[in-house]
A and B are shown apart, each in its own frame.
Chain A
Amino acid sequence: MISTLGHFVLFLALGLSLYAAAGSVIGARTRREDWLASSRNAILAQFCLVTLAIFLLEYALITSDFSLRYVANNSTRGSLVQYKIAGLWGSLEGSILLWAWLQSLFSALVVARYGDRHEAVMPYVQAVLQGIAAFFLLVMTFAVNPFTPLVPVPPDGRGLNPLLEVTDMLVHPLLLYLGYVGFSVPFAFAMAALITGRLTDEWLKYTRRWTVIAWVFLTGGIFYGGWWSYRTLGWGGYWAWDPVENASFMPWLTGTAFIHSVMIQERKRMLKIWNLALITLTFALVIFGTFLTRSGILASVHAFADGPVGVLFLGFLALVLLFSLSLIAYRADRLKGHGELDSIVSRESAFLLNNVVLIGICFTVFLGTIFPLLTEAIRGTKISVGTPYFNRVSVPLGMALLLLMGIGPLIAWGRASWNNLRRNFLKPILVAGAGTAVVFALGVRQAEALLAFCCSFFVVGTIALEFFQSTRARASATGERLPVAFAVLLLKSRRRYGGLIVHLGVVIAIIGIAVSSVYKVEREVTLKPQERLEIGPYTIQFHDLRAGEQPTHVLVWANLSVSKGDRPLVDLKPGQRFYPNQQSPFASVDARYHWTEDLYTILSTFERDGSSATIKAMINPMMAWIWIGGVVILLGVVVAVLPERRLAMLSVRAKAQAA
Chain B
Amino acid sequence: MTWKRLLIPLASVPVILLLAYGFRTDPKAIPSPLVKKPAPEFRLTVFGGGEISLAGLKGKPAVLNFWASWCYPACYEEAPLLEATWRKFKDQGLMVVGVDIQDKEANALEFIQRFGFTFPNAPDPGSKVSIDYGVYGVPETFFVDRHGRITYKHVGALTPALVEAQVQALLKGN
Contact = CB atoms under 8 A, between A and B. Distances in A.
Contact between chain A and chain B defined by CB under 8 Å: yes
Interface in A285-329: 291, 295-299, 310-311, 314, 317-318, 321-322, 325-326, 328-329
Nearest to A381: B31
Interface string B1-45: 100011111011001101111110101111100000000000000
Contact of A297 (B1, B16, B22, B30): B22
A321 B31 CA distance: 34
B9 A321 contact: yes
Interface of B: 1, 5-9, 11-12, 15-16, 18-23, 25, 27-31, 70, 72
A295 B23 contact: yes
Contact of B23 (A311, A322, A583): A311
B8 A328 contact: yes
Considering the complex of A and B, which 6 residue pairs feature the smallest CB-CB distances, nearest first?
A297-B22, A325-B9, A329-B5, A299-B27, A321-B12, A329-B8
Contacts of A5: none
Given A291-B19, A297-B19, A329-B1, A322 B9 contact: yes
Contacts of A311: 23
Given A330-B1, A382-B30, A382-B31, A325 B22 contact: no
Contacts of B22: 295, 297-298, 373
A297 B25 contact: yes
Given A298-B27, A314-B16, A382-B30, A377 B21 contact: yes
Contacts of B9: 321-322, 325-326, 329
Nearest to B29: A382
Contacts of B21: 373, 377
A332 interface: yes
B68 to A, nearest CB: 10
A370 interface: yes
A329 B9 CA distance: 8
A377 B20 CA distance: 11
Interface in A340-397: 370, 373-374, 376-377, 381-382
A297 B27 contact: yes
Interface string A579-591: 0000100000000
Interface of A: 291, 295-299, 310-311, 314, 317-318, 321-322, 325-326, 328-330, 332, 370, 373-374, 376-377, 381-382, 583
Contacts of B31: 381-382
Q: Which of A291, A297, A310, A326 has the most CB of B within 10 A?
A: A297
Nearest to A317: B16
Nearest to B1: A330
Nearest to A243: B27
Nearest to A608: B104
Contact of A321 (B1, B16, B28, B30): B16
Contacts of B23: 295, 297, 310-311
A330 B27 contact: no
Contact of A370 (B12, B18, B27, B29): B18
Contacts of A382: 29-31
Nearest to A310: B23
A475 B70 CA distance: 73
A299 B1 contact: no
B9 to A, nearest CB: 4
Contacts of B72: 583
A301 to B, nearest CB: 12
A374 B15 CA distance: 10
Q: Which of B1, B22, B25 has the most CB of A within 10 A?
A: B22
Contacts of A291: 19
Nearest to B22: A297
A532 to B, nearest CB: 27
Contacts of A297: 19, 22-23, 25, 27
A311 B23 CA distance: 8
A181 to B, nearest CB: 22
A373 B19 CA distance: 8
A583 to B, nearest CB: 7
Given A298-B27, A330-B1, 7 more contacts: A297-B22, A297-B27, A318-B12, A325-B8, A330-B5, A376-B25, A382-B31
B85 to A, nearest CB: 27
A317 B9 CA distance: 12
A314 B21 CA distance: 11
